[in-house]
Amino acid sequence: MPRPVLLVIAHGSRDPRHAATVHALVRRVRALRPGVRVETGFLDFNVPSVSGVLESLAAEGVRDVVALPLLLTRAFHAKSDIPAVLSEAPARLRIRQAEVLGPSPLLTAALERRLYEAGLSPADKSSTGVVLASAGSTDPEAIAVIAEIAREWRRTGWCAVRPAFASASLPRTEDAVRELRALGCARVAVAPYVLAPGFLPDRIARGAAEADVLADVLGASPEVARVLLHRYDMARSPALTAVGA
């Protein structure tokens, strides 16, 4: 039996860096698992659209699809937007929606990789406060997950870790930076918990103006690619409920 097609569903953005990063990540996923067909669809702003990809797959005779939200938390897009799009897919498709990427120890490892690439070293951990800067959400579940990631990450040896949000929630990145300064951390680093560049990551970068270190977005890091494949493998389980036929 052929393996299900992996359809990576990205949000989309007017910023061309977003789509470029998504495509780079998908290329890494394909390289890690050459036996799996991987397609990309966007909810907005970019092409191909999710519905367009699903229609093309159905026209080719594809039967099984794993739809994987390229999202770090379960908020509105994962709970409402994506299920709505999938529910309108051609009836011949058997679609399973995979879980969002986070939280995952691999994503925390990717955050640390980005901090070290930006100039920190493991020896700096005990004297460095980190702002875990996410896009933000009005969904209490998503906010609670970010706060829990910060608490868990702090236990690995950082001076302190504080969550911050670029929109919808408080505190903002710049406020968390100042809080860590006041706490007495020798240096302050900002780790964007976002997948690709765009409007909100740029806001995080501006909020990091007073920090000592600003890491890059998670992007096409190998850890993120491995999480994608882990979520795909989990969704292939027959115990999960299919969307559609």
* C-alpha gyration radius of the chain: 19
Question: What is the Cα–Cα distance from 234 to 239, expressed in whole angstroms?
Answer: 10
118-135 CB burial, b ≥16 within 10 A, e <16: eebeeebbeebbbbbbbb
Q: Which residues of the chain have pLDDT under 50?
A: 240-245
Q: Which two tokens stand for residue 101?
A: 């990427």
To the nearest 5 percent, what fractions of the chain are helix, strand and coil?
A: 45, 20, 40
Cα separation, 212 vs 19, in Å, equals 29
**Tokens coding 61:** 């005779």
How confident is the model over 99-134, as pLDDT tens digits? 999 999 999 999 999 999 999 999 999 999 999 999
pLDDT score, position 242: 44
Quote the Cα angle for 192-73-234, to 5°: 120
The pair phi, psi for residue 168, each rounded to 5°, is 70, -25
Is the previous residue joined to 103 through a cis bond, with omega within 30 degrees of 0?
yes
Check residue 241 and give its pLDDT: 42
Beta bridge partner(s), residue 188: 129
**What pLDDT, on the 0 to 100 scale, is given for residue 238?**
58
Tokens of 34: 């050459």
First-last CA distance in the chain? 18
User: Cα(44)–Cα(76) distance, rounded to whole angstroms?
Assistant: 14
Q: Is the peptide bond before 171 cis (omega within 30 degrees of 0)?
A: yes
For residue 96, the cross-strand partners are 66
Which token pair is 12? 């989309």
* 76 Cβ contact partners less than 8 Å away, ≥ 6 residues apart: 137, 138, 139
